[in-house]
Structure 1
């Protein structure tokens, strides 16, 4: 009987103790985020150096630096002085494009990707091409050099383009249907 009372007393005393907080075994200081940011900066620097080297070695083209941190040149520029329209938000463009590495090795050759119809800034498209199309006029062909973060970035395209691959993309813009044209036709 005394043993039962002693066990009961121990249980009662133990159950009155307030719960203690469990602390993590390791604590992170945020260094992973800082290291990741530094890796991305280093990657961008390497890609930009490679693009600058390509531009320096190619004296046949007149490269233009965009405000969106990619470079481009015109394969075929519109000479029509009345052709001044560039696509804007909501406009629908029809274009073809091919993708290669910066060294010119084809990833998606001309004609491999179907002609695409795209509503500017309203559908999925990689950021560099989305911004590049806004610089073009009907009938123009432009070659863009995109650092990987302007292309498919860390994820690639889940097909032929891998992780962090800078790209050369040749685009031909066939037509632009402005937002006002679209509203009239609907």
Structure 2
């Protein structure tokens, strides 16, 4: 009887189909997969930038392009002194969709963080480097500079461009 159970077990194990193994997130992708992802991001960014430009045309507020490919409501902001790594800053911001629907009830707030050592959206970090204490700005951020393909796993879905109202404390 034990031999029969052993042979049946081996037979069942031999019948199991192998499942395709996918690389883990952050794992190795083929050149084709990398090119597909790169082209998707490039095309999505172009579409979003066109949509944001059209949105800006219909606004009473002026928005100006920044070198990192987002827009800010302060003209010539990059002419201000750029804060270097190591400088300390406190700030808060609210996140909206392009219908001006606030996505989180409370602002995201960070106190006494050091440039070069905090994790933040690149557009948020970039605009903070040019803002002075108590200064506010509105930035328009394509999804590639926001939460990208995966969203924030909470209120922000994948591939969502954002409006961010930020204030230096």
Do both proteins adopt the same fold according to a TM-score greater than 0.5, normalized to the shorter chain? yes
Q: Do 1:87 and 1:137's aligned partners in 2 also have CA atoms closer than 8 Å?
A: no
User: For residues 66 and 158 of structure 1, what CA distance do their matches in structure 2 show?
Assistant: 28
Of 98, 101, 104, which aligns to 1:102? 98
Aligned to 1:146: 141
What are structure 1's unaligned runs of at least 5 residues? 1-28, 78-83, 175-186
Q: Which residue of 2 aligns with 1:12?
A: none
How many positions carry a matched residue from both structures? 136
Task: Give the 3 Å change call, closer, same or farther, for CA 61–127 of structure 1 in structure 2.
Answer: same
Question: What is the alpha-carbon distance in structure 2 between the residues aligned to residue 32 and residue 86 of structure 1?
Answer: 38
Deviation of 1:167 after TM superposition, in Å, equals 0.6
Deviation of residue 114 (structure 1)?
4.9
Alignment check: 8 A CA contact 1:86 1:137 kept = no
| Distance of aligned partners of 1:139 and 1:163 in 2 relative to their CA distance in 1, 3 Å threshold | same
Q: TM-score, normalised by structure 2?
A: 0.72
Is the 1:121–1:130 Cα contact (8 Å) retained in structure 2? no
The correspondence for 1:115, drawn from 87, 109, 116, is 109
Max Rg structure: 1
Moved over 4 A (4+): none
- Please say if residues 41 and 144 of structure 2, whose CA atoms lie closer than 8 Å, have aligned partners that are also in contact: no
CA distance in 2 between counterparts of 1:86 and 1:31 reads 39
User: Could you say which residue in structure 2 is the equivalent of 1:159?
Assistant: 154
